[in-house]
Amino acid sequence: MALFEHKDFDDHESVHAFTDPDSGLKAFIGIHSTHRGPAAGGARLWTYETSTDALTDVLRLSRGMSYKNAMAGLNLGGGKAVIMRPESDFDRAKLFTALGKAIDSLCGKYYTAEDVGVSPDDMRNVLSQTKFVAGLEEGDAASGDPSPVTADGVFRSIKVGVEKQIGSRSLKNVHVAVQGLGHVGYALCQHLHDAGAKLSVTDINEDVLIKAESAFDANIVDPDEIYAVDAEVFAPCALGAVINPDTIERLKCKVIAGAANNQLSVAEIGKDLMDRGILYCPDYVVNAGGIINIAGEIEGSYSREWVEEKLVGIEKTLADIIAQSADTGIPTNKIANKMARERIGRG
């Protein structure tokens, strides 16, 4: 498991490995850049087959957070924590208390919050050991669960993409295929349903599918069939690398805009999408709502008005990326990457 030779190592400032046998903690914290401020990004609890897989994830996710925070205009750098889910039953309080100790040892270089598999309750256990945590539901500057704001940003981005590809910002009768109905995906469905969109949805959780079918009149499809749904928009809201050589041939959409991180398996896929006439809305631009929501908390204040301004900024930034791509013939993901790297001093 060589670090510096790893294909996703991008001159990360530091990568830390933490273990705690008593709680079962095995975690990586990656700090990609602190050029714009302390690194910030959520903690993810996931089942990884190997520690190499976990390392790959933390390298990619922390780099993505640098880009996301820069493109959102935040005074934050990029970091991420990934926790390898213990194989046997474990005590969540112990696990996240141990994570809090690990984060505190970094002395403010990294702020954490919720990500996949992690809840506000888990963050309270982290908070018992360190002040470098956000996404809280208590306190003067608390912003709470950032998922609804992430969903709002994705919804706005879908409207931008649909306007470019179809010519109207109205989503009435626009068919959207949503992959993943976690906190963000389900909230996105609510926005889309309220706007009059038609929904096809998939998830591994049967209960949430039944709920979505009832609440949104959503069409339920098998997980592997979501790619082939004949919809105007595909919204990946689960895990990354879902746009890959195996799935791209099956896509029938005109726009890809979703909450998942690292949706493209490799950067070259962006050119393939462009050649197919599919508009890819870069994930770290689209899904920045959550980190925007907690940025004020990190700085010690929280203003819904400021958050709203930043959400409008997501729309403007995405529209600019799309326009530059149309003018230059360069895929949107490469346009966004260039802009982001310039903003973190690596242009």
Q: What is the 3-state secondary structure (H, E, C) of the chain?
A: CCCCCCCCCCCCCEEEEEEECCCCEEEEEEEEECCCCCEECCEEEECCCCHHHHHHHHHHHHHHHHHHHHHCCCCCEEEEEEEECCCCCCCHHHHHHHHHHHHHCCCCCEEECECCCCCHHHHHHHHCCCCCECCCCCCCCCCCCCHHHHHHHHHHHHHHHHHHHHCCCCCCCCEEEEECCCHHHHHHHHHHHHCCCEEEEECCCHHHHHHHHHHHCCEECCHHHHHHCCCCEEEECCCCCCECCCCHHHCCCCEECCCCCCCECCCCHHHHHHHCCCEECCHHHHCCHHHHHHHHHHCCCCCHHHHHHHHHHHHHHHHHHHHHHHHHCCCHHHHHHHHHHHHCCCC
Domains 14-127 and 147-289+327-334 in one fold: yes
Q: Please give the average per-residue pLDDT across 212-220, as a whole number.
A: 98
| Per-residue pLDDT reduced to its tens digit, 315-330 | 999 999 999 999 999 9
Q: Please give the average per-residue pLDDT across 203-210, as a whole number.
A: 97
* Active-site position among 26, 80, 159, 198: 80
Read off the pLDDT band of 262 (50, 70, 90).
very high
Residue 212 in contact with residue 201, Cβ under 8 Å?
Answer: yes
The pTM of this model reads 0.92
Lowest-confidence segment of 16-30, 129-143, 189-203 by average pLDDT: 129-143
Read off the pLDDT band of 281 (50, 70, 90).
very high
pLDDT at 151: 97
pLDDT at 143: 64
Domain layout of the chain by residue ranges: 14-127, 147-289+327-334
Q: Cα–Cα distance between 136 and 246 in angstroms, integer?
A: 39
Q: Please give the average per-residue pLDDT across 83-112, as a whole number.
A: 97
CATH superfamily of the domain spanning 14-127: Leucine Dehydrogenase, chain A, domain 1 (3.40.50.10860)
| Per-residue pLDDT reduced to its tens digit, 116-147 | 889 888 999 999 999 999 877 665 545 667 88
Strand 175-179, strand 25-33: pairing = unpaired
pLDDT at 248: 97
pLDDT at 96: 98
pLDDT at 144: 67
pLDDT at 142: 59
Q: Please give the average per-residue pLDDT across 262-268, as a whole number.
A: 95
**Domain 147-289+327-334: which topology?**
Rossmann fold (3.40.50)
The mean pLDDT of the chain is 95
Q: Cα–Cα distance between 310 and 292 in angstroms, integer?
A: 7
Six-digit token pair at 92? 């969540």
Strand 77-84, strand 25-33: pairing = antiparallel
Q: Is 316 an active-site residue?
A: no
Region of residue 8 (left: phi > 0; alpha: psi -120 to 50; beta: else): alpha
